[in-house]
Every structure is written in C-alpha cells, then in structure tokens.
Amino acid sequence: MDKSIYSPNLHVFPTGPDVARAFADHLVEKLDALDGGPLFWALSGGSTPKLLFQLLAEEYRDKIDWSRLHFFWGDDRMVPYDDPESNYGEVKKLLFDHVPVEAEQIHPVPTELEPQEAARAYAATILEHLPQNSDGLPIFDINMLGMGTDGHTASIFPDSMELLTDERVCAVVKHPESGQLRVTLTGPVINASDEVVFLITGNSKTLRVAQIVNREQQATTFPAAHINPSSGRLHWFLDQAAAAEVGY
C-alpha cells in the first residue's frame, strides 16, 4: 500500500482507562480551541467508549460546558432505544442521564422508522445542523470511531466497502453475520470531518491495528484503513495491548 499518504497520529497509553482519559482531555482542548462555539461530535458505539462515557459523567461533569456539545452517532443498530444493542441507549444510561444536556442537543438515529426512511431522515437532521464543505458534506468537529476485529468502522463492514465512496450522507447496512440492520455514516462524510479519532483497545485488535498502521498489503480490505480525513487530522488513540505490534 502507498504509505506516503497515510500517516495517522498515533497516541499510545498504558491501559484502556488511560485512553478514555486522554480522549476526555482532548475533548476539553478541542472545546477550548473552538472558542465558545458549538462542537458537533459523532459518537461511536460498541464496548470501547463505555469507559469514556462513565469517566465524562463522573470526573468531567464540571469541567465541560455541556451546552456547547451536539451529539450525533456514526452508526446505530435498528433496535429500540432501550435495547442493550442501541448505541444511543448506552450513551443515555452512562452519560446523558448524569450531565446537564438538553434533548435539543442529542440527535440519535430515529430507529423507530423503517430503515431506509431512518437513514434519509438522519441525513436530513445532520445537514440541517452542521456546517458543510464545498461538496455539501457535513463537517463534524470530532468523529470518534471504533474498529471491530474484522476491521469494520462505524457500520462499514468488509463486505460493504462500497459505502466508503457512497454519495449519500447515511446508508442502511446489514451486519454480515447477524443480519442486524444498521444505519451508518458513509466514508465521504467521515472523511469530511474536521478530525477523526479512533479509540481502540485490547489485544483482540492487535493484529488488525498493526496491519493497518504498518500498511501491510491486506490493509486495503479493512474499512478502517480507508478513513483518512481530508483535513489530515487523523488520530489513533491506542492502549499498549492494541498497539503491541505497530512498527513505529
């Protein structure tokens, strides 16, 4: 693979809780840099960011001006909000129920709608709230992402690589094994973000992280390897376990 155009900023911390704290501090710095303006944040789901949401609720409650944050999701599963699989539902339980945010700041995927309608409605919500670039793509200030052991990110899976170049803002996708329907941001939208930050922890991700960061030949088959925002601000926050085989 071409290594010259792919150079993520790697940040390696001893443990998962250290990764969560580093991201929380990064969020505070980004808010400072935005000088009183709003911060449009796309959240990821899955297991990795749960520590972050707990930490923000417990230790950053009084360190953040919550009224400036606007929450969106990079992907969600088409399940009710009280289902344990709901990415929004998890953030509600761990964060929103404990910090001063208003309903108007929170923009979950409308999973009560039929899937294609939900994707269209979510795209419209995003375009209504966010500034756009010259291609009409919304600009998230921070797009926080995770990566599955299969190399998927948001809900762009190795068998749905076409979503990396899809011209829509959001699309419906089927989880390759469970068949669960999801709504995801597409590749062009993720890559239009002002900043993309991957949070990846644990030794189940070690091999995949190394293949992508070291630009091994197989890397092209993993959706996460194609996330490289045009802003150049691509950060990978890793714990030592996930980074164990990265050649610095």
Ligand X SMILES: O=C1O[C@H](COP(=O)(O)O)[C@@H](O)[C@H](O)[C@H]1O
Is residue 111 within the footprint of ligand X (CB under 6 A)?
no
Q: What is the DSSP letter of 106?
A: B
CB of residue 209 to ligand X, shortest distance in Å: 12
Helices (H), the chain: 16-33, 50-59, 87-91, 115-129, 187-191, 206-213
**Of 39 and 224, CB closest to ligand X:** 224
**Of 65 and 83, CB closest to ligand X:** 83
Q: If we measure between CA atoms, which residue out of 127, 124, 129 comes closest to residue 137? A: 127
Q: What is the DSSP letter of 40?
A: E
Q: How many Cα atoms are found within 13 Å in the side-chain-facing hemisphere of 74?
A: 33
Q: Give me the 44-63 binding string for ligand X, x by CB under 6 A, dash otherwise.
A: xxxxx---------------
- Closest-by-Cβ residue to ligand X is 46
Q: What is the DSSP letter of 239?
A: E
**Of 48 and 125, CB closest to ligand X:** 48
Sign of CA dihedral 238, 178, 187, 85: negative
CB of residue 146 to ligand X, shortest distance in Å: 3
**Of 44 and 125, CB closest to ligand X:** 44
**Of 34 and 241, CB closest to ligand X:** 241
Q: Give me the 58-97 binding string for ligand X, x by CB under 6 A, dash otherwise.
A: ----------------xx-----------x----------
CB of residue 21 to ligand X, shortest distance in Å: 17
Q: If we measure between CA atoms, which residue out of 139, 141, 148, 143 comes closest to residue 196? A: 143
Q: How buried is 138 (Cβ within 10 angstroms: 0-12 exposed, 13-18 middle, 19+ buried)? A: buried
Residues interacting with ligand X, by CB under 6 A?
A: 44-48, 74-75, 87, 145-148, 154-155
